[in-house]
Structures are given as structure tokens and as C-alpha cells.
Amino acid sequence: MRRLLLSSALVLCTSAAFAASTHPSNAVFDPLTREPIQQTTRESQQPKATAIPRETVRFDGKYAPGTIVVSTKERRMYYVLGDGKAIRYGVGVGRPGFEWGGTMTVTQKREWPDWRPPAQMLQRRPDLPRYMKGGPDNPLGARALYLGSSLYRIHGSNEPETIGQAVSSGCIRMVNEDVIDLYGRIKVGTQVVVLR
């Protein structure tokens, strides 16, 4: 079993709904944290993601049926079906400095979860609320799968344009429709393998 390689900054994902008001109006902001991003040219800005359809694909990995495999390089997640097949989903992954990899298990499942930013995030972003009730505007989206004892989640998002991008603070984001589909397929104890 792989040892979990966590970046030193264990923080949860946040929403673009909380824009910083102390930056120039022409500043470019991270779509997740709303922190300013240094941009040198117009071409260096990340393009908007297009829809990434959920589909059943060929999968030759060595993983048992029921395993979730996240390829952070591809920005895709695979739910292993067996017989050489998997369901592939588009995902958003950790931005530079917030990447991680390893093997964990799903320890909790929540529908329309509440959100409490962790202390590390509040230290960086004191403007964030201390608590947000679950619902359509909540940054954890329609469903959340809690990974081990870490602060990381696989969760829904109300920002579909971030799927296929490296924008989160370490969480794995999915469109709400896809996380609802995955939530119905898995159970507590499901193995999650995150590949860097």
C-alpha cells in the first residue's frame, strides 16, 4: 500500500463566491480561492474547461472492482468496474503546491454537506465564513466523500468550469451530477488511489 504523500498545506477547497476586495480591479483571481494569480501574458491564463462527459471506458489497471483511481495528470477519475472497464469522470485537482498522492479510504459520505473551512485556510483567508450550511451555493456541492482522517474530499462543485483544471486546495472536484452518480455506487470503506 502506498504511503500517503501530503503537501505541507493540508487545506480544504473553497468557493469563488468569496472575492477578495483589496486587489486592483484588473487582477486575475484563482477560481477556487479567489486569491490573486500573477499573470505575465494573456496566453498564460488557464482556459475555461469544456464539459467532460462521464463514460464507460477500457481500463487495464491492476485495481480491484469498486476502487476509485484518480489520475491527477489526466485530471480524470476512474471507478473500476472490472473485466477491463471503468467509468471515467472529469475532475478538478489540487493546484501547484497542493498536489498529493497515495491510497486512502472513504470514511464518511454526506449529502449536501455543511462546510467549515479548516484553520489553515482561515489563516490565509480570514474573510471566509466560519460555517456554511449545505446547499447549492456551498463549495462542497451536492455530495462529499471524506478521505481517511485528512482534510481532503471528493466533492461536488457549483463551478463546473473548474473541472479539468488544477485549481483546488487538494480536494478532488466533480460536477454535481457526476458526484451524485459516484456517491450511489460506492460505500464507506471504498479504496481511493490518487496518482500524481
Q: Which amino acid does the sequence have at 119?
A: A
Beta strand extents in the chain (DSSP E only)? 28-29, 36-37, 55-58, 68-71, 76-82, 85-90, 93-94, 102-111, 143-147, 153-157, 166-168, 172-175, 191-195
In this prediction, residues 91-112 reach a mean pLDDT of 96
Residue of 95, 153, 155, 173 marked active site? 155
DSSP state of 117: -
Residue 59, all three cell numbers: 481500463
CATH code reported for the domain at 28-195: 2.40.440.10
pLDDT at res. 46: 41
State how far the Cα of 135 lies from the Cα of 142, in Å rounded to an integer: 7
Lowest-confidence pick of 52-61, 93-102, 116-125, 143-152: 116-125
48 against 8, higher pLDDT: 48
Of residues 37, 44, 79, the one with CA closest to residue 59: 79
The pLDDT assigned to 120 comes to: 84
Quickly state the pLDDT bin for 23 (edges 50, 70, 90). Answer: very low
Strands annotated E in 17-152: 28-29, 36-37, 55-58, 68-71, 76-82, 85-90, 93-94, 102-111, 143-147
| Contact status, residue 128 vs residue 18, Cβ threshold 8 Å | yes
* Residue 23 is among the residues annotated as catalytic for this protein: no
Find, among 67, 49, 9, 85, the residue nearest to 174 by Cα.
Answer: 49
Q: What is the pLDDT of residues 163-174, one digit of tens each?
A: 999 999 899 999
Of the candidates 167, 171, 175, 193, the residue annotated as catalytic is: 171
Mean predicted confidence (pLDDT) in 176-189: 97
Q: Catalytic annotation on 13?
A: no
pTM listed for this prediction: 0.74
Domain spans in the chain, listed from the N-terminal domain onward: 28-195
By the 8 A CB rule, do 159 and 15 touch? yes
Instruction: Give the model's pLDDT for residue 166.
Output: 96
- The total of other beta-carbon atoms located within 10 Å of residue 140's CB is 26
